[in-house]
Structure 1
Amino acid sequence: MRFDVITLFPELFAPFQSVGVTRRAFETRAVDVRLWPLRDHAEGVYRRVDDRPFGGGPGMVMLVEPLVRCLAAIRASQAADGGARLPVVLFSPAGRPLTQQRVEALAASPGAVLLCGRYEGIDQRFIDAHVDEEISLGDYVLSGGELPALTLMDAVARLQPGVLHDAASHQQDSFSDGLLDCPHYSRPEVLPLPAREGGEPIEQGVPPVLLSGHHAHIARWRREQQLAITLRRRPELIAAARERGELSKKDEDFLRGLTL
């Protein structure tokens, strides 16, 4: 798959692509990232990409013309490579929240053009004419779209075949089945931990079921932990799973026991 990234700060992307488990996706071009510095498509001595907003007010607005020229260059590159016309994704607080389901759909697609906005925003006329989708990471504001773009690239890259050591790892992640993940434990079996308010250490052990070797019991314990944690922290996810018919009778019996 391919990501064409329109950005004013291409230098932010190189370190990300060279570290961590997801670097395999970028080194092998399973995720082919192509950076398009927007100022390369601006005109004039100062290569301006922004100007003051009509109507007054604080901040600057990204200009249409450099974006149009940059996108035209991207389309020409995609056509020369025989690839598909990729949708343009803008990172914006007004977009739909990014979900694991959307990440999985993107991971199975040919890719996208990622538009990283800056300043007060982008001229609405470019958005109306060329943007296919707007995505938000949450109800807060960042300085630009580069961090959301990196987040999306990381989420998509780890789903590519051969990137994770265990291909089934992502299937047990939070949100993959609509619920939060269960707790995980490793060695040692018993761990002395200091009390929160000081005092004598408290020995914390691994839940016995995880040491039992009984795979069916372990699977059920993990499912019940998922249900309990999700009900306590994100009850709307339980409601959504019910609507989709994804909770079994055992799940519902367990949840009723928690809520009594």
Structure 2
Amino acid sequence: MSTATIELNPVSQPAAKLKPKEHGAYAILGIPITTALILTGPTVAGACVAVAAVTGFLAHEPLLVSLGHRGSRAQRATPAARRRTLILLATTIACGCTAMAVGSNAVRLSLVGCGLLAVTSFGLAVAGKHKTLGGQLWGIVGLSVPCVPILLAGEITTAQTAEAWGTWLIGFAATTMSVRGVIAAQKRRSRMIHWTAIAGLTVLVGSLTLTQFPLPVATLPMLAMSWYLMFDPPHAKQLKRVGWTLVIGTVASAIWMIGAF
């Protein structure tokens, strides 16, 4: 095919997608939020935080496209990306401001933290560091943190809220390390850091349980899945199935956490 033909048929190339590409991020964001909403029941501040978190997450990809960080092919989708970004960010800001207005001081403070984490996470994406180990672990922090203001808005104590969020951080850190371990196994690279991290997180859960923290033990399904993937890493073609398996383990941990409250 000649260059002229390619230039005359630009529509033959698929348009850029405006939805977040990191599919595991949906679970890291959505399951803690859903769990928190079930635990607290309906509150205006909690509902607003949930909507703001979801729309802010969905604005991530079109904002990157609008800023030109998704390559030359994605530039054709820039007008649509800008429109979607404006709508989503406007919804995020409106819901966030409402939560700030009706929430307690603890909710307001936690929302400020959520905003700072969102900005730094986006900065990592712009810098192209979001797929590094540090970037992914920081992404876990930023994506899971909306459960904090939701729990606080439902009058869950600060101590219980911190324990719940810490539990999610442990579980998601383990599953992230296991997935990276699977990829490392396919590339025949060392997995020592992944083994060490999951072992350390398992010991941490055991220690917290023995010191009378009831929630971290809820990560056992997530830890079990992580250990299984490390001992028997599947082929790279099965990574999508691995993702769904980890989602099932995360849902099981959520059910466990709800029962432990």
| Both proteins in one fold, TM over 0.5 | no
TM-score, normalised on structure 2? 0.27
Larger radius of gyration: 1
User: Which protein, 1 or 2, shows the higher relative CO under an 8 Å CA cutoff with sep ≥ 6?
Assistant: 2
TM-score, normalised on structure 1? 0.27
Structure having the larger proportion of residues in helix = 2
